[in-house]
A and B are shown apart, each in its own frame.
Chain A
Amino acid sequence: MSTIKSLDPRVTRFNIEEDDQSMQPLERRDYFETYEVFHQAKRGGRHTHVGSVHAPSPEMAFLFAKEQYGRRSTSTSIWVVRTSDIHTVGDEHSDMWENVPEKQYREAGFYKVRSRIEQFKKRHNDS
């Protein structure tokens, strides 16, 4: 069987058989499990989630994460975590994360005393 002669010298050297249709379809998990990647851009900063990689082991996930999420800018640290090790609750419970607006007594902006002080001063000066 003849091999592909390409404009691409790399492809020619790769000796690809022409009209070879024999490939077996990939099987589920041919490309491993997934890891979530957290990246710290500078020391003292937070690790932020930047995406995921497919990898067969934490060591490999680390290499792939460095390549994908740390190849252009300097990183100080990268974490990889198996996606299946991250726990969350499903969408049907998402309403429990909402905050009702009535709980403003827990917010700094709720406490406004300036006008009261001004009134007090005004009263004091008037008397």
Chain B
Amino acid sequence: MTASNEALKSLLYATADDLLILGHRNSEWTGLGPLLEEDIAFSSMAQDQMGQSLALYEILQRDLGERDPDTIAFLRPESEYRCCHFVEYPIGSYAFSLMRHFLFDQASYLRFAALAESSFKPLAFVSRKLLGEIKYHIMHGNTWMAQLSRGGEESHARMQSALNEAFPMALGIFEKLEHEEELVDAGVYAGSAQLRDLWLQHIEPALAHGGLALPELNAQEAGTAFFGGRKGFHSEHLGSLIEEMGAVLRSDPSADW
């Protein structure tokens, strides 16, 4: 069987919106980072992530009949976004941004590695192309994680506290998609729960190397505390960011900018 367009859209919007929003967040570090060299690195990753989201919006337009990438990326109402809450939160401290980058890009790599085998060919093709970029993000994340979590008591404490804050949020990446069964049955997508288990295995060595422990979660945190994004229910932070991202475009959507 093949997956319906509705199911494919649900997968593509979730994946693309995560990257679009986190790309915007990461771009905010330009000029504000802890050292110049790292401002440059966060900007590279932000550009990669926005570029990756564009590649997916292009599939939505070309293969699934959605509107052009600029329109769907910047001019949808909030309830039509399918990103998880995790990517919506402001950049916060550098420790939080770095932890988010580490947790998210590990998930992103696994997600694209699985999608590279997808039965939906346009997505498989694009996914294979993006893996090299994300591999570098993982190297960047792991290197920083190792150095900061082993960089003395204060730094270790900050990284542990960033992990405590970010980990339950990160579980929101793996909220079940709309039409997920259909996507899994059609061999388009590996499934959110399966990706989450794989992700837990992958982040474990880097966390252990840095002496960081996953926080004890209460039932709600381990459950659905940061869920809702995949169904269009968002944190308080998304609305204003969407407003900002499309501010100029929305002033005259028919104009050529």
Direct A–B contact in the complex, CB atoms closer than 8 angstroms = yes
How many of chain B's residues touch chain A, expressed as a range? 10 to 19
In the complex, what's the smallest C-beta–C-beta distance from B120 to chain A, in angstroms? 29
Q: Which of A10, A57, A59, A63 is B41 in contact with, Cβ under 8 Å?
A: A63
Check if A80 is an interface residue, CB within 8 A of chain B: no
> What 1/0 flags go to A63-74 for Cβ under 8 Å of B?
110111001000
Instruction: Tell me which residues across on chain B come within 8 A of A121, comparing CB atoms.
Output: none
Residue of B nearest to A67 (CB): B40
Residues of B within 8 A of A55 (CB): 37
Cross-chain contact of B37 among A9, A53, A59 (Cβ < 8 A): A53
User: Judging by beta carbons under 8 Å apart, are A71 and B244 in contact?
Assistant: no
Residues of B within 8 A of A71 (CB): 40, 44
Interfacial chain B residues near A14, Cβ < 8 Å? 32
| Residue in chain A with minimal CB distance to B27 | A10
Please pick, from B37, B40, B41, the residue contacting A54 in the complex, using a CB distance under 8 A.
Answer: B37
**Main SS at interface, chain B:** helix
Q: How far apart are the CA atoms of A94 and B4 in the complex, in Å?
A: 74
Q: Which residues of B contact A54 (CB under 8 A)?
A: 35, 37
Q: Which chain B residues in 1-44 approach chain A with CB under 8 Å?
A: 28, 32, 35, 37-38, 40-41, 44
Identify the closest chain A residue to B139 (Cβ).
A63
Is B179 at the interface (CB under 8 A from chain A)?
no
Tell me the smallest distance from the CB of B23 to a CB of chain A, in Å: 14
User: Nearest chain-B residue to A15 (Cβ)?
Assistant: B90
Chain B CB within 10 A, most for which of A10, A53, A56, A71: A10
Please give, as numbers and ranges, the residues of chain A lying within 8 Å of B71 by CB-CB distance: none
Q: Are B28 and A63 in contact (CB under 8 A)?
A: no
- CB of A68 within 8 A of CB of B40, answer yes
Q: Is B231 an interface residue (CB 8 A)?
A: no
B37 touches A64 (CB 8 A): yes
CB A29 to nearest CB in B, in angstroms, measures 13
Taking the closest CB of chain A, its distance from the CB of B116, in whole angstroms, is: 21
Judging by beta carbons under 8 Å apart, are A9 and B244 in contact? yes
Q: Which residues of B contact A67 (CB under 8 A)?
A: 37, 40-41, 44
Which residue on chain A has the smallest CB distance to residue B146? A59
Chain B residues with CB under 8 A of A57: 147
Q: List 29 A-B contacts (CB under 8 A).
A: A9-B244, A10-B28, A13-B28, A13-B91, A14-B32, A31-B35, A53-B37, A54-B35, A54-B37, A57-B147, A59-B143, A59-B147, A60-B37, A60-B143, A60-B147, A63-B37, A63-B41, A63-B139, A64-B37, A64-B38, A64-B40, A64-B41, A67-B37, A67-B40, A67-B41, A68-B37, A68-B40, A71-B40, A71-B44
Please give the residue numbers on chain B whose beta carbons come within 8 Å of chain A beta carbons, in ascending order. 28, 32, 35, 37-38, 40-41, 44, 90-91, 136, 139-140, 143, 147, 244
Apart from A60-B37, A71-B44, list 12 A-B contacts with CB within 8 A.
Answer: A13-B90, A14-B32, A31-B35, A57-B147, A60-B147, A63-B37, A63-B139, A63-B140, A67-B41, A67-B44, A68-B40, A71-B40
